Amino acid sequence: MVDERKSTLVTEDAVTARAEAPAACASDIPSVERLLQSASFVPLLAQYAHTQVTVALRRELERLRGLALAGRLVLEALDAGTLAAAVGADLARRSSPTLRTVFNLTGTVLHTNLGRAVPGDAAVQSVIRALRAPVSLEYDLESGGRGDRDDLIEPLLCELTVAEAATVVNNNAAAVLLMINTLAYRREVIVSRGELVEIGGAFRIPDVMRSAGAKLIEVGTTNRTHRADYADALTARSALLMKVHTSNYAISGFTASVEVAALAEIGRTRALPLGVDLGSGSLIDLARWGLPKEPVVRDIVAAGADLVTFSADKLLGGPQAGIIVGRTDLVRRLKKNPLKRALRVGKLTLAALEAVLALYRAPELLADRLPTLRLLTRDARAIAAQAERLLPRVRAALGEAYRVTAASMMSQIGSGALPVDQLPSFGLCIRASRGSHRSLSRLESRLRQLARPVIGRSADKALWLDLRCLESADEPEFLAQWEGLGG
């Protein structure tokens, strides 16, 4: 693709830049029909078919007509081979996918704008199978009758979380919406003031509450909420106690919050369910790999939460989805809500999710097989060695205009998980030699234009490329792109 762009540039040069080349006028422009019959267009017609090539060729000839009127058209631009090359480059550019594969060197492993978790090869194989042939999505192979798509992964989710039942929707925001709408429509939901979070991308607990048709009852204060605050707020209209994991910020200092077990107990005395929005939520204790502690779903279930919701594409490392686990009777109610039909996931999501969840059955191998965990557990020394290895190539490619050094930096988990904790990492720090801000932003822009764009983080008049998420298998592709970037 890079080469195709180059060839467009060459064509434009040929058309405009050579003052001494023989000039042409609009009447010299050959007809579409004649050009399409020339040998130069045979390969294009084979690849893109008649309709597309015709449209692209008309567009190109229109452009040349404009040049002719401006007196800037040269005769050699009308050569069939030159025209075919220009049309080919245009078609290639237009047919390349707009959802591009990028290098995430931002230092944020679960970057929401870059699609969060990369589910990896196990999920890929499973999704490919589901794309190639019909699947038993809602078909019970035992009875031959109608099945429920949730049945496919409910047992696996229950096994991994010790919950009684489980269901899956489009994302965690949908999970929270479904839970509140099902259990508390036109009634009250009690939440601590310290947990009225905004997650970004317009997910705010008070707004979700309103959309779900429930009334939010705030209790406690920003920094401290006690058991009595919840107990005192209970009325005949109370329907749900809710706890929200404050995933993207931390309140420190003089603080108090009520644990899940204590809240569950308050709920039980009044037969009110406790719903916990865990946000990221992990299926396994990350401390096992020396990572910061994040609540584990099975612990929250064991502590007495009646429903727990969490994202599948955050720490879990799967595709975008929202998972709800908990009491059988409550999950049954969720499934009966017409909203569930609107929020349900498709077969591709279920295929990917099942494959990723299955990896959790072998926790010893998880850090090897699950990309998210593999990246989070990369050793800083290995990343440092990688930075030293790449440094000379990047330096050589960028030349004198930039100063490149290997530098230590801090990665973040991202997606709201563990906001305070950072992971020591390493990467490349690029500064413009003459300190020019313009040349640095020009480089960033060129990195974004690459066939596989390189996305870094700019701060302190430098571009920081955190190498935590550059796996060694991707290094050759990464390096090949740097050639010719300098100057």
Ligand X SMILES: *Cc1c(COP(=O)(O)O)cnc(C)c1O
Binding site residues, ligand X, CB under 6 A: 171-173, 176, 197, 199, 203, 244-245, 247, 277, 279-280, 311, 322, 416
End-to-end CA separation in angstroms for the chain: 21
Q: Is 150 or 277 the residue whose CB approaches ligand X more closely?
A: 277
Nearer to ligand X, 311 or 411 (CB): 311
Determine the residue type at 246. Answer: T
Task: Output the smallest distance, CB 244 to ligand X, in A.
Answer: 5
* CA gap 339, 336 in Å, rounded: 8
Is 44 or 321 the residue whose CB approaches ligand X more closely?
321
Q: Check the CA dihedral 156-160-162-168 and report its sign.
A: negative
Say if CB 110 and CB 314 are below 8 A apart: yes
Q: Provide the minimum distance between the beta carbon of 322 and ligand X in the complex, in angstroms, as a whole number.
A: 5
Under DSSP, the state recorded for 461 is: T
Q: How far is the CB of 196 from ligand X (least distance, A)?
A: 11
- Kindly state the smallest distance separating residue 208's Cβ from ligand X, in Å: 8
Residue 212 falls in which region: left (phi positive, over 0), alpha (psi -120 to 50) or beta: alpha
For residue 372, what are the contacts with CB-CB under 8 A and spacing of at least 6? 109, 110, 117, 118, 315, 316, 317
Closer of 322 and 427 to ligand X (Cβ): 322
Q: Which is nearer to ligand X, 141 or 202 (CB)?
A: 202
Pick from 285, 292, 181, 283: nearest CA to 242: 181
CB of 197: closest distance to ligand X in angstroms? 6
Whose Cβ is closer to ligand X: residue 267's or residue 318's? Answer: 318
- For the chain, give the number of residues: 487
Between 11 and 349, whose beta carbon lies closer to ligand X?
349
Task: CB nearer to ligand X: give 149 or 245.
Answer: 245
d(CA 186, CA 176): 16
Alpha carbons 312 and 358: distance in angstroms, whole number: 13
Which residues are CB-neighbours of 68 under 8 A, at least 6 positions away? 24, 25, 26, 28, 29
CB of 476 to ligand X, least distance (A): 34
Tell me whether residue 273 or residue 416 sits nearer to ligand X (CB atom). 416
Cβ of residue 259: shortest distance to ligand X, in angstroms? 17
Minimum gap (Å) between residue 111 Cβ and ligand X: 13
Residues 6+ apart with CB under 8 A from 310: 172, 175, 277, 278, 279, 280, 281, 297, 316, 322, 323
Contact 137, 351 (CB under 8 A): no
* Count of beta carbons in the 10 Å neighbourhood of residue 225: 21
Nearest distance from C-beta of residue 279 to ligand X, angstroms: 2
Do 185 and 242 touch, CB atoms closer than 8 A?
A: no
Nearest of 352, 358, 392 to residue 482 by alpha carbon: 392
Q: Which is nearer to ligand X, 277 or 354 (CB)?
A: 277
Q: Least distance to ligand X from the beta carbon of 284, Å?
A: 18
Q: In 3-state terms, what secondary structure has residue 288?
A: helix
**Whole-angstrom distance, CA of residue 440 vs CA of residue 461:** 8
Output 173 or 334, the one with its CB closest to ligand X.
173
Residue nearest to ligand X as judged by C-beta position:
279
- Specify the 3-state DSSP secondary structure of 233: helix
Give the shortest CB-142-to-ligand X separation in angstroms: 33
